[in-house]
C-alpha cells in the first residue's frame, strides 16, 4: 500500500497535536516530519515519537511529501501555504485561513496554479450532531431556514493569540469563523451584510475578547453569533459551539458539547464537564486524507475558509465604523 | 384597598385569582366587553361583573384599577382613569409609542395618581436572583448577557396580537420583558441593532436584538412567537469573574407524567410557572399595592417602562433600516 506522506508545519496552534494523533491512527498515513522553529515545543511529538524534526520548514517541503498540515500563527498561514503549494504539496490550513481578503484569494489562486488542494480546518463540520443537523436540514425537516443564532464562546487562549502581529485579531477573528462556516454550509448562501461589536470586556489585554456579530445572507436569512472569550476559570468546560436554526417548519438546536458527564472534584476544586462525544478532529483529518488519497475535492475548500474569515474582517470594520458593512 | 380589573383575558384572569387571595385587597368589579369573560373573572374574584367601565365607575368606590387590556387600549383607559383620580396598575408594554407612554405617565403625575407598568420579569424569582447575584460581585462586573424568550403564537381577542398596530409585535410585546431586565441590569443603552423575521402560515415572528450599553456591556436578546416547543426562557450573564445561567427547561422541581396523554387544550397566552407559594404576578401586584399604600418607589417605575418602549421601538427601527440606532439623551 502506498502511504500518504504528510508533514506538519508549526505547532503554534495546539490543534496540531490532535491532528497528529488522528493522522497516526491511520494505517495509510506516514508522518514524514514536523517543522517548527521551536524545537522544544514539538519535542514530545517529533523526537519522542520518532518523527524527524526540521527547524526550517523549507527542508521539510523538500522531502517526498503529499500534503502538509499548517498550524502556525495566523499571520504566517499565507506565506507557508503558498510555499507548500509551490513545492507541490496539498495543504490543510488551520483557521482563520488568512488575515486579509487579498491574502486569502492569493493563497487560493496559488494552490490552484500549482495543482494542489487547499482545505480549511473547520473541525466543527465533523461534529456528529452538526452532521445530523445538516442532514435534517437538507431533507427539508425544518423547511426553509429563516434565522440562526450561534455561540462559540471560549476561554481566553493567551500567548500569540492576543498578539495582534501574530493573530491578526482577537476573539472575533478566532471564534467567528467556525460557526460562520456552519451557517454558510447550512444555508448554502453567502454572508452579504455584517454588523458587529468587537470589544475588550473580560481581560487585561489590548485585543478584542468579546463581540457580537450580526449577519444577513444573500438569501435573506438573518443570523447572530457570539464569539467571545467569555468563559471564566471556573466554568465547567473550555467553551461551547451552539447553533439554533429557525426554519419555516421547525427549529433545530445544536449544543455540540452537551454529550458530557458532570464531574464534581475536590481534587480540581471545581465542577467540570467531561465530554464523551465523537472526536471531531479525527473526522476532519480522515476527510482530508481520504480526499487526497482518492483524488477528490476536499470537503471544506479554501473558498469556504475565505467566506468565513472575511465576515470576521468585516466585523472589525463594522465595529469601528458603527455601521453595517456590505460584502461584495 | 378596593380594586377593579378591566379586561378579563389571560392576564385579567391571573390578576383576578391573585387579588382575590391577597389580604387587605377587595376586588369590587371586573369589566370585559364580553359578558361571559367578565362573569368568569367575577366568579374567581368575588367581584361584580360589568361590561363597560362607565357603569363600573358609577357604581363602585375604587382606589385602584388594574388594566389588562390589549396594548392599543392602554392609553385611552389610563388617561380616563387617571382623570378620575384612580391609581393604575397597567399591563406591559406601557404603550405602542414612546409619546403615548410619556403622555400616560404625565397624565398620572398631573392628576396625582400612581402608575405602575407590569414588567413582571423583575419579580420572577429566577430573574430577581440573577439581578442580585450579578450586583453582588460574585461574577465580578457583568459584561455580556444573552436572553431568550420563546412561546407559542399568542391568541388574543380578535387576533389583536398579530395586528402590529395593536400589539407592536414580538419585540414590543414579548421581548420587552428582557429589554426591561437588561436595562435594569446594565443601565442606559448606547445603540440598538435588530433583525426581525415575520411570516404567516404558520404565523410566526422572531427577533434578534443586540443592545450595547453606555457601560460598554453587550446583550443579545431573542424573542419568538410561534415556537413549536414549550414556553422557554433562558439567560446567561457573563462577568469578568463568573457566569450566571438559567434555562427554564432544566429547573423542574416537580415533574408529573400521566399515563393518559395531555388534554390538548392550550392556553391563549402561555404564562411560565414553577412550583412556588405565590406566582410572580402576585408578588408584583402586592408590591405595587404596597407602593400605593406607603408612597414608596416601585421596583420598576413608569419611567423604566417608557424607556423599555423607547428601546423596543428603536429595535423595530433598526430592523427596518438594517442599521444600528444610536440612542440619545438620558433614560427618563
Pairing type for strands A53-54 and B87-91 reads unpaired
Strand partners, B235: B147, B246
CATH code, domain carrying A16: 3.40.50.720
Q: Which residues of B touch A146 (CB under 8 A)?
A: 197, 199, 206
What is the mean pLDDT of the segment spanning A39-68?
97
Model pLDDT, residue B254: 85
Q: Does A285 have pLDDT greater than 60?
A: yes
- Residue B217 near chain A (CB below 8 Å): yes
Is the Cβ–Cβ distance between A289 and A4 less than 8 Å? yes
| Cα–Cα distance for residue pair A101/A309, rounded to 1 Å | 8
- Residue B105 near chain A (CB below 8 Å): no
Model pLDDT, residue B331: 41
Q: Are residues A216 and B197, on separate chains, in Cβ contact within 8 Å?
A: no
Model pLDDT, residue A99: 98
Asked if residue A299 belongs to a domain, the reply is no
State the smallest CA–CA distance between residue B175 and chain A in angstroms. 16
Q: Are residues A203 and B228, on separate chains, in Cβ contact within 8 Å?
A: no
What is the mean pLDDT of the segment spanning A189-204?
98
Q: Which residues of B touch A238 (CB under 8 A)?
A: none
Strand partners, B90: B67, B117
| Cα–Cα distance for residue pair A186/A184, rounded to 1 Å | 6
Going by C-alpha positions, the residue among A315, A126, A144, A153 that lies closest to residue A245 is A144
Domain that holds residue A78: 4-116
Residues A144 and A100 in one domain: no
Residues A97 and A167 in one domain: no
CATH code, domain carrying A200: 3.30.360.10
Residues A86 and A139 in one domain: no
Residue A224 is nearest to which of B143, B220, B326, comparing CB atoms?
Answer: B220
What is the percentage of chain A residues whose pLDDT exceeds 70?
Answer: 100
Type and span of the H or E element at A217: strand A210-217
Residues A150 and A110 in one domain: no
Higher pLDDT, residue B8 or B260: B8
Asked if residue A211 belongs to a domain, the reply is yes
Is the Cβ–Cβ distance between B34 and B182 less than 8 Å? no
Residues A47 and A72 in one domain: yes
Is the Cβ–Cβ distance between B12 and B45 less than 8 Å? no
Asked if residue A234 belongs to a domain, the reply is yes
Residues A34 and A150 in one domain: no
Asked if residue A41 belongs to a domain, the reply is yes
Residues A82 and A213 in one domain: no
Asked if residue A295 belongs to a domain, the reply is no
What is the mean pLDDT of the segment spanning A101-108?
98
Residues A142 and A86 in one domain: no
Q: Are residues B326 and A149, on separate chains, in Cβ contact within 8 Å?
A: no
Residues A132 and A199 in one domain: yes
Residue after which a domain boundary falls, among A67, A88, A116: A116
Q: Does A50 have pLDDT greater than 70?
A: yes
CA distances to B31, B50, B282 from B11, rounded to whole Å, are 13, 17, 12
Residues A95 and A129 in one domain: no
Residue in the block written with cell 445544536: A254
B73-120 tens-digit pLDDT: 999 999 999 999 999 999 999 999 999 999 999 999 999 999 999 999
Higher pLDDT, residue B5 or B201: B5
| Cα–Cα distance for residue pair B39/B29, rounded to 1 Å | 10
Residues A45 and A151 in one domain: no
- Residue B218 near chain A (CB below 8 Å): yes
What is the percentage of chain B residues whose pLDDT exceeds 70?
Answer: 96
Going by C-alpha positions, the residue among B1, B13, B20 that lies closest to residue B68 is B13
Asked if residue A82 belongs to a domain, the reply is yes
Model pLDDT, residue B184: 98
Residue B195 is nearest to which of A153, A222, A232, comparing CB atoms?
Answer: A222
Q: What's B142-208 look like in SS3?
A: EEEEEEEEEECCCCCHHHHHHCHHHHCHHHHHHHHHHHHHHHHHHCCEEEEEEEEEEECCCCEEEEE
Q: Does A256 have pLDDT greater than 60?
A: yes
Residues A141 and A236 in one domain: yes
What is the mean pLDDT of the segment spanning A250-273?
95
Q: Does B264 have pLDDT greater than 70?
A: no
Q: Is the peptide bond before A96 cis (omega within 30 degrees of 0)?
A: yes
Is the Cβ–Cβ distance between B195 and A146 less than 8 Å? no
B79: left (phi over 0), alpha (psi -120 to 50) or beta: alpha
Model pLDDT, residue B158: 83
Residues of chain A that touch chain B, judged by Cβ-Cβ distance less than 8 Å: 146-147, 149, 151, 153, 193, 195, 197, 199, 201-203, 210-212, 214, 216, 222-224, 226, 228, 230-232, 234-235, 246, 248, 250-251, 322-324
Model pLDDT, residue B262: 58
Asked if residue A75 belongs to a domain, the reply is yes
Is the Cβ–Cβ distance between A153 and B243 less than 8 Å? no
- Overall domain count for chain A: 2
Q: Does B274 have pLDDT greater than 80?
A: no
ipTM (interface predicted TM): 0.94
Higher pLDDT, residue B260 or B105: B105
Residue after which a domain boundary falls, among A77, A99, A116: A116
Model pLDDT, residue A264: 95
* Residue B259 pLDDT grade (very low, low, confident, very high; cuts 50, 70, 90): confident
Alpha carbon distance, N-terminus to C-terminus of chain A: 46
Q: Are residues A201 and B243, on separate chains, in Cβ contact within 8 Å?
A: no
Q: Which residues of B touch A149 (CB under 8 A)?
A: 208, 220, 222
Type and span of the H or E element at A107: helix A101-113
For residues A174, A176, A177, A178, the Cα torsion angle rounded to the nearest 10 degrees is: 100
What is the percentage of chain A residues whose pLDDT exceeds 90?
Answer: 98
Sign of CA dihedral B126, B128, B134, B139: negative
Q: Is B317 exposed, middle or buried (0-12, 13-18, 19+ CB in 10 A)?
A: middle
* Contacting B residues, span 297-326, partner chain A, CB-CB under 8 Å: 322-324, 326
DSSP string, B104-144: HHHHHHHTT--EEEE-GGGGSHHHHHHHHHHHHTTTSSEEE
The three grid cell numbers given for residue A141, joined into one nine-digit string: 425537516
Going by C-alpha positions, the residue among A305, A313, A292, A273 that lies closest to residue A124 is A305
Type and span of the H or E element at A40: helix A39-42
What is the mean pLDDT of the segment spanning A172-178?
97
Q: Does B286 have pLDDT greater than 70?
A: yes
Residue after which a domain boundary falls, among A116, A140, A163: A116
Q: Choose from B133, B194, B207, B220 for mutation: most chain A CBs within 10 A.
A: B220
The conformation of residue A76, written as its DSSP 8-state character, comes to G
Asked if residue A84 belongs to a domain, the reply is yes
Residue in the block written with cell 497516526: A24
Q: Are residues A322 and B227, on separate chains, in Cβ contact within 8 Å?
A: no
State the smallest CA–CA distance between residue B61 and chain A in angstroms. 51
Q: Does B159 have pLDDT greater than 90?
A: no
Q: Are residues B193 and A234, on separate chains, in Cβ contact within 8 Å?
A: no
Q: Which residues of B touch A228 (CB under 8 A)?
A: 144, 238
* Residue B263 pLDDT grade (very low, low, confident, very high; cuts 50, 70, 90): low
Q: Hey, is B287 helix, strand or coil?
A: helix
Query: Mean pLDDT score of chain A, rounded to an integer?
Result: 97
Q: Are residues B199 and A248, on separate chains, in Cβ contact within 8 Å?
A: yes
Query: Domains (ranges, CATH) in chain B?
Result: 2-118 (3.40.50.720), 121-253+265-326 (3.30.360.10)
* Contacting B residues, span 123-152, partner chain A, CB-CB under 8 Å: 139, 143-144, 146
If one counts every other C-beta atom within 10 angstroms of the C-beta of residue B146, the result is 23
Q: Which residues of A touch B182 (CB under 8 A)?
A: none
A23-46 tens-digit pLDDT: 999 999 999 999 999 999 999 999
A124-137 tens-digit pLDDT: 999 999 999 999 99
Going by C-alpha positions, the residue among A319, A233, A100, A210 that lies closest to residue B191 is A319
B120-140 tens-digit pLDDT: 999 999 999 999 999 999 999
Q: Does B301 have pLDDT greater than 80?
A: yes
A312-324 tens-digit pLDDT: 999 999 999 999 9
| Cα–Cα distance for residue pair A210/A227, rounded to 1 Å | 7
Is the Cβ–Cβ distance between A98 and A78 less than 8 Å? yes
Nearest CA in chain B to A234: B242
Amino acid at each position: 500500500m502506498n502511504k500518504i506522506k504528510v508533514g506538519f508545519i508549526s505547532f503554534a496552534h495546539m490543534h496540531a497535536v490532535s491532528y497528529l494523533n488522528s493522522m497516526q491512527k491511520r494505517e495509510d498515513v506516514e508522518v514524514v516530519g514536523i517543522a517548527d522553529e521551536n524545537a522544544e515545543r514539538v519535542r514530545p511529538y517529533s523526537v519522542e515519537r520518532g518523527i524527524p524534526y526540521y527547524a526550517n520548514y523549507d527542508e521539510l517541503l523538500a522531502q517526498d511529501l503529499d500534503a502538509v498540515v499548517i498550524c502556525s500563527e495566523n499571520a504566517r498561514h499565507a506565506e507557508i501555504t503558498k510555499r507548500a503549494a509551490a513545492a507541490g504539496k496539498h495543504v490543510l490550513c488551520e483557521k482563520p485561513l488568512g488575515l486579509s481578503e487579498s491574502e486569502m484569494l492569493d493563497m487560493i489562486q496559488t494552490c490552484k496554479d500549482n495543482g494542489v488542494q487547499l482545505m480549511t480546518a473547520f473541525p466543527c463540520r465533523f461534529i456528529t450532531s452538526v452532521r445530523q443537523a445538516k442532514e435534517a436540514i437538507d431533507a427539508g425537516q425544518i423547511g426553509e431556514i429563516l434565522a440562526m443564532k450561534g455561540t462559540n464562546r471560549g476561554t481566553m487562549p493567551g500567548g500569540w493569540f492576543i498578539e495582534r502581529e501574530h493573530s491578526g485579531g482577537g476573539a472575533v477573528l478566532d471564534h467567528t469563523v467556525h460557526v460562520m462556516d456552519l451557517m454558510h454550509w447550512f444555508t448554502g448562501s453567502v454572508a452579504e451584510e455584517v454588523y458587529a461589536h468587537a470589544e475588550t470586556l473580560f481581560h487585561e489585554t489590548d485585543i478584542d475578547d468579546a463581540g457580537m456579530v450580526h449577519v444577513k445572507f444573500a438569501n435573506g436569512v438573518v443570523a447572530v453569533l457570539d464569539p467571545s472569550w467569555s468563559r471564566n476559570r471556573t466554568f465547567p468546560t473550555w467553551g461551547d459551539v451552539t447553533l439554533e436554526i429557525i426554519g419555516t417548519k421547525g427549529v433545530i438546536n445544536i449544543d455540540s458539547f452537551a454529550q458530557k458527564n458532570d464531574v464534581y472534584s475536590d481534587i480540581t476544586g471545581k465542577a467540570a464537564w467531561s465530554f464523551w462525544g465523537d472526536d471531531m478532529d479525527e473526522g476532519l483529518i480522515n476527510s482530508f486524507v481520504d480526499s487526497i488519497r482518492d483524488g477528490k475535492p476536499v470537503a471544506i475548500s479554501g473558498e469556504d475558509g475565505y467566506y468565513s474569515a472575511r465576515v470576521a474582517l468585516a466585523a472589525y470594520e463594522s465595529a469601528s465604523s458603527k455601521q453595517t458593512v456590505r460584502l461584495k | 384597598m378596593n380594586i377593579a380589573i378591566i379586561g378579563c383575558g389571560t392576564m385579567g384572569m391571573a390578576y383576578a385569582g391573585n387579588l382575590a387571595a391577597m389580604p387587605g385587597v377587595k376586588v369590587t368589579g371586573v369589566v370585559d366587553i364580553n359578558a361571559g369573560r367578565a362573569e368568569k373573572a367575577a366568579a374567581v374574584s368575588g367581584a361584580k361583573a360589568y361590561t363597560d367601565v362607565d357603569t363600573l365607575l358609577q357604581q363602585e368606590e375604587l382606589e385602584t384599577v388594574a388594566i389588562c387590556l390589549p396594548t392599543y387600549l392602554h392609553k385611552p383607559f389610563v388617561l380616563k382613569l387617571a382623570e378620575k383620580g384612580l391609581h393604575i396598575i397597567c399591563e406591559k408594554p406601557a404603550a405602542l409609542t414612546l409619546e403615548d407612554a410619556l403622555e400616560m405617565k404625565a397624565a398620572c403625575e398631573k392628576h396625582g395618581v400612581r402608575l405602575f407598568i407590569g414588567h413582571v420579569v423583575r419579580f420572577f424569582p429566577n430573574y430577581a436572583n440573577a439581578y442580585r447575584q450579578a450586583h453582588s460581585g460574585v461574577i465580578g462586573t457583568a459584561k455580556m448577557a444573552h436572553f431568550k424568550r420563546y412561546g407559542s403564537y399568542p391568541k388574543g381577542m380578535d387576533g389583536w396580537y398579530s395586528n402590529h398596530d395593536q400589539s407592536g409585535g414580538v419585540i414590543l410585546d414579548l421581548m420587552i420583558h428582557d429589554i426591561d431586565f437588561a436595562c435594569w441590569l446594565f443601565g442606559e443603552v448606547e445603540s440598538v441593532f435588530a433583525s426581525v423575521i415575520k411570516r404567516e402560515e404558520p404565523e410566526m415572528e422572531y427577533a434578534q436584538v443586540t443592545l450595547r450599553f453606555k457601560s460598554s456591556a453587550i446583550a443579545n436578546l431573542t424573542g419568538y412567537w410561534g415556537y413549536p416547543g414549550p414556553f422557554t426562557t433562558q439567560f446567561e450573564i457573563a462577568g469578568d469573574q463568573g457566569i450566571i445561567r438559567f434555562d427554564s427547561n432544566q429547573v423542574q422541581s416537580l415533574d408529573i407524567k400521566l399515563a393518559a396523554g395531555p388534554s390538548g387544550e392550550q392556553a391563549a397566552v402561555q404564562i411560565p410557572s414553577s412550583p412556588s407559594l405565590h406566582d410572580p404576578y402576585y408578588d408584583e401586584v402586592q408590591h405595587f399595592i404596597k407602593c400605593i399604600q406607603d408612597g414608596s418607589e416601585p421596583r420598576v417605575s413608569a419611567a423604566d417602562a417608557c424607556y423599555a418602549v423607547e428601546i423596543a421601538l428603536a429595535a423595530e427601527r433598526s430592523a427596518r433600516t438594517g442599521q444600528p440606532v444610536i440612542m440619545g439623551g438620558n433614560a427618563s
